[in-house]
Amino acid sequence: MKFLGVDYGAKRVGLAQSDATGSIAFPLETVPNDANLLAHVQKLMEERRIHAVVVGDARAFGGGENPVTKDVEAFAQSLKEAGITVEMAWEAGSSIEASRYAEKGDEHKDEAAAAIILQRFLDMKGGVQ
């Protein structure tokens, strides 16, 4: 079962994809957060035969809301209303973790953060065959 991971940001959205077994996440791309986002996600899911979307739950380490939490929740709801299966996964610290593996000068890659969010989800699930 393939998953699409989402690191939702106010300006950009990082996307990652799992392998067919739902075991390993790979960075895919970063796209603008604009009016085409939902259609782009739907197209990716169709073209790549992805079954569900894992959206990073934008909450602080303590569980409180941050400036994009409501927007993330609204995006997840729009996916659900489009008939897409949506899972939420812990996101806190994913951008920092992703920057640890990046080359100098290229520390902020939204698609890498999306891969970390997705990998956390996959690890919790134990691989979905």
Which residue matches tokens 């690191």? Answer: 7
The reply to whether CATH 3.10.450.50 applies to domain 3-125 is: no
State pTM to two decimals: 0.84
Domains of the chain, by residue range, sit at 3-125
Element (H, E) at 13: strand 12-18
**Alpha-carbon span 108 to 120, nearest angstrom:** 19
- Tokens (6 digits) for 107: 């520390």
Element (H, E) at 102: none
**Alpha-carbon span 84 to 50, nearest angstrom:** 10
- Tokens (6 digits) for 56: 């990073």
Q: What is the residue-level pLDDT of the chain in tens, covering all 129 positions?
A: 999 999 999 999 999 999 999 999 999 999 999 999 999 999 999 999 999 999 998 766 666 777 788 999 999 999 999 999 999 987 655 555 555 554 566 556 889 889 999 999 999 887 554
